[in-house]
Each structure stands twice: as C-alpha cells, then as structure tokens.
Amino acid sequence: MRIDPLGVESVPHAHALKIGTKVRFREAFLERHPETRKRFAGRIGEVTGYRGGAVEPIVTFPKVGRRTEQKLFEVPLARLEEVTA
C-alpha cells in the first residue's frame, strides 16, 4: 500500500478497478477542486476501460438531466472511490 497526496491508502495498480465497477470522486478531492465539484458531486460513473499501457481507468459518467455524458481518460485511482450498492 502507498499513501497518496490526500493521505489515503491507494490500491496497487495493475487494473485495480475492474471494468463495470461503479465509482465516484472522493470527497477529499472534490473539496480541493470546486469546479470539479460542480460537475461531478453526487454523480456515479463506471469504469469503461483502460488505454493500452495505462494503469488508470477510463471513467464514464452518464447523462443525467441537463448534465451531458462525460468520459474521463486516465483518472488517478487516488481520486476515486468504489460505490457499493
């Protein structure tokens, strides 16, 4: 385990999150980035893949109301948390 800049233990990579995993941005990250908070607070995304050679996932946030679908490439794992149902 490593400790990331936000003080959170990070999981080792090697595709730590499986495709189809539901995720959201960590609250600690959103507190430090108000513009990102406006766009992604309360939204749940899904890991939709990995770029060749990349260790960080592609995360897609679906269209919700007036918010458009957002596809983010190589999102650092330290910024994400898995959503459990």
Distance CA 44, CA 1 (A): 25
Side-chain-side CA neighbours of 21 within 13 Å: the count stands at 18
Please identify which residue in the block is written with the tokens 């996932």: 57
Distance CA 16, CA 55 (A): 8
Supply the pTM of this predicted model. Answer: 0.80
Q: How confident is the model at residue 16 (pLDDT cuts 50, 70, 90)?
A: confident
Residue 24 β-bridge partners: 81
* Domains of the chain (ranges, CATH numbers): 2-82 (2.30.30)
Residue 41 β-bridge partners: none
Cβ-contact 46, 71 below 8 angstroms? no
**Over the stretch 17-71, which tens digit does the pLDDT of each residue have?**
999 999 999 999 999 999 999 999 999 999 999 998 888 999 999 999 999 999 9
Q: Check whether 3 has a pLDDT greater than 80.
A: no
